[in-house]
Amino acid sequence: MGNYREQGIVLRTHKLGETDRILTLFTQGRGKVRAVAKGVRRPGSRFGGRLEPYSHVDLLLYEGRTLDVVTQAELLAAHDRVRSDWARSAAGAVLVELVDTVAVEGERDNSLFLLLRAGLQALDAGPGETGVFIDAFLLRVARTVGFALEVDRCASCGLPGPHPFLSVVAGGTLCSDCAPAGTQAVAPAVIDRLAVLAGDGWSPLVALPVDDSARVAASYARAFAEHHLDRRLKSYPLTERQAIA
């Protein structure tokens, strides 16, 4: 046991006693870490405001037997707009819940860390429409942990696409031969949108229109992530998009 330094993002916090907090952190080098921030709720705490959910921080921690202890915290990115704006905060809650679900305590996952950091940065800097960032994050986290969405070929037989049918269970588009009888085709705009959502980069998301294809893609992205990650997202209804999905 000893001191170690890590960059991390605060996923959630819980009160401990009268002045302390237990933090769930997602760190770049050690994966998910649970740590105590002693005295952080005391008036005048030297780093209380730096250890809020969504904050990206540079930390010095002491490795304890059950919980590590935060001894220093320097703020790298507060993501104040994510915390202060309701829509951004609700979207941020989906992001951190999903990472908290798939991350393994003590197991490094740099790709997932960078994805969460980029997602929070995009929410902090992006326009008022936050739903597109949620949709993209759901599909990109699923890809990071091994469930990539197939949009360029049939997810069942591999026949090159595009194909007009979608399947959550199969993991993407299906050709007419593989689609179950009675499956309804979706508009090409839906497939095109899903390809952008599941791709790389955040700036292309801003140009995506809010239309019928957005509603269908949002519904599919949620169903895809919840099915393949085997998790109902408790925070998703806070985004007020349940009517869409």
Q: Which amino acid is at 199?
A: G
Q: For residues 235 and 93, give the distance between their C-alpha atoms in angstroms, rounded to a whole number.
A: 6
Residues paired with residue 60 on neighbouring β-strands, in sequence order? 5, 72
First to last CA, the chain: 47
- Strand 56-62 relative to strand 165-167: parallel, antiparallel, unpaired? unpaired
Contact 184/99 with Cβ under 8 angstroms? no
Confidence at residue 193, expressed as pLDDT on a 0 to 100 scale:
96
pLDDT at site 1: 63
Which residue is associated with the tokens 């952008």? 196
209 Cβ contact list (under 8 Å, min separation 6): none
Q: What ranges in the chain are assigned the alpha helix state H?
A: 80-84, 86-102, 110-125, 131-144, 188-197, 203-206, 212-228
Q: How many residues appear in the chain?
A: 245
pTM value is 0.90
Instruction: Supply the pLDDT for residue 242.
Output: 42
pLDDT at position 42 is 77
pLDDT at residue 240 in the model: 65
Q: Report the pLDDT value the prediction gives residue 137, as an integer from 0 to 100.
A: 96
From first to last of its 245 residues, the chain has per-residue pLDDT tens of 689 999 999 999 998 888 889 999 999 999 999 999 887 787 767 777 788 999 999 999 998 888 899 988 999 999 999 998 898 999 999 999 999 999 988 899 999 999 999 999 999 987 667 889 999 999 999 999 999 999 999 999 999 989 999 999 999 999 999 999 888 899 999 999 999 999 998 888 988 888 889 999 999 999 999 999 998 999 998 886 543 33
In angstroms, the CA 96 to CA 119 distance is 10
The pLDDT, as a whole number, for residue 128 is 64
Residue 153 DSSP code:
B
Contact 96, 12 (CB under 8 A): yes
